Structure 1
Amino acid sequence: MQQELKSERTKDLIIDKAFKLFYENGFKTTSIDKIMRETTLSKGAFYHHYKSKKDLGLEVISLKVQNRVVKGMILPLKEPGDAYQILQNVFINRLKKFSFYDKQNGCPMNNLINEIGNNEEAYQKALKNIIELWKTALVALIDRGKQENTLKQHICSKSTAIYLISAFEGFRGIRKLYDNDAVLETFLEGLSFYLKQLKI
């Protein structure tokens, strides 16, 4: 039992350090050696848990990246309340609350999509799964808003969901290029205007 717990902690440490390095430095430039140096564990500890960097990458996507998107962008969409207000909270207010570190490094998921999303089918599938979960939750919220008469009936739920995800993720990438929030304020003006067009 003690050994199992130690093994699980070792695995968690590897995943945490890998996520941080992938986020700050990129997936391709982060070697197994670099990850293990950060953990202060031996390379043997890595190969005890993973066959390759690809296996670790997939686990980082499913355990760290997906959990982050679910917690920050998907679960809030399922809260009770006015659909329009929820959209504002999730898309507008969340952007305002990101730390300097998050603004500087962008979105972990978007970074991985841009870096390795077209390199390997397994990565593509894992990353696409997160987008699909997000899209499904958004469509459900928009449909609910239409049923409750807080959102306009004629809007296409799927198109709106994909647009909002794309705008949000695209801006997270663009924000990395700037050293202040002036561009964020401009983007939020445009996004607020778009969201108002959805409201009854």
Structure 2
Amino acid sequence: MSKAETTRSSIIQKSFDLIYQKGYQATSVDEIIATTQVTKGAFFYHFKNKEEMGLAVISEIMSPRMSKFSTAYLRKGGDVRTNIYKMLEALLLKNDFFKVEYGCPLVNLIEEMSAHNQAFKKTA
């Protein structure tokens, strides 16, 4: 991975962490920059604005992780109800991506942003 790719990946991951804990609207670009220890120029080199970064968080972190996780359980044979139960049990108790105290990252973001931003609504 190149330095630019590593920087972009770090920005997206740290942004996800902050958004998950505090919410999208409560997380500022300045806070993301301070957390990632990149310059403001580096942030805006990778993302033209906060919205573009937020959409990248959804498409590059949230959606792939949630889809990969849920697909593994939902494609299993057998009783669908049992598979859904096992999926939720694993998601809540055995997955470091999902922290019970913060809720579901994707649902939180959808609830917070879908009424305010059509791009978020479509992406999520």
Structure 1 and Structure 2 fold alike (TM over 0.5): yes
List structure 1 runs of 4+ shifted beyond 6 angstroms: none
How many Å separate the matches in 2 of 1:69 and 1:6?
Answer: 27
1:119-158 paired onto structure 2 within 5 Å: 119-127=116-124
Find out whether 1:51 has 2:48 as its counterpart: yes
Higher relative contact order (CA 8 A, sep 6+): 2
Q: CA RMSD in A?
A: 1.9
Task: Structure 1: give runs of 5+ residues left out of the alignment.
Answer: 128-200
1:51-200 paired onto structure 2 within 5 Å: 51-79=48-76, 81-84=77-80, 85-97=82-94, 102-127=99-124
Asked if 1 retains the 8 angstrom alpha-carbon contact of 2:11 and 2:43, the reply is yes
How many Å separate the matches in 2 of 1:112 and 1:68?
Answer: 15
Asked if 1 retains the 8 angstrom alpha-carbon contact of 2:47 and 2:53, the reply is yes
More helix by percentage: 1
Task: Structure 2: give runs of 5+ residues left out of the alignment.
Answer: none
Task: Give the TM-score taking structure 2 as reference length.
Answer: 0.88
| Number of aligned residue pairs | 122
Q: CA deviation at 1:25?
A: 0.9
Question: Which secondary structure does the structure 2 equivalent of 1:86 belong to?
Answer: helix
The residue aligned with 1:24 is 21
How many Å separate the matches in 2 of 1:92 and 1:20?
Answer: 22
Q: CA deviation at 1:125?
A: 0.2
